[in-house]
Amino acid sequence: MMGIKVRDFDLEMNGATALVQKIIAADPRSISRFEVTFVFPFLTDKIIRKMLEHSTITRPVYYSLHPDIEKIISFNW
């Protein structure tokens, strides 16, 4: 979804990466936390950054995860 939003601003995401970690709880054995760090190799203004960040955390996939799973999302510009 972020790729679609980037096109709205005439930018490209070449070289962008996402580092994903899932943390497993011991008892019961289940996913307790996701940590996602987006790394962007391009600079853009603060308004566009906020719009892209907002578009990431308002997607249905984010909310489809069980509410007990902690979601930590960070952005490195």
Q: What's the confidence (pLDDT) of residue 11?
A: 79
Q: Alpha carbon of 24 to those of 14, 48, 57, 59: distances in Å? A: 31, 34, 22, 23
Per the structure block, which two tokens stand in for 45? Answer: 């203004």
Q: What's the confidence (pLDDT) of residue 33?
A: 96
User: What pTM was computed for the model?
Assistant: 0.79
Task: Note the pLDDT tens digit of each residue in 22-63.
Answer: 999 998 899 999 999 999 887 778 988 898 898 888 888 888
Instruction: Catalogue all structural domains in the chain, each as residue range(s) with its CATH number.
Output: 2-76 (3.30.300.20)
Task: Note the pLDDT tens digit of each residue in 11-28.
Answer: 788 888 999 999 999 988
Look at residue 20 and give its three-state secondary structure: strand
Residue 1 has pLDDT above 70, yes or no: no
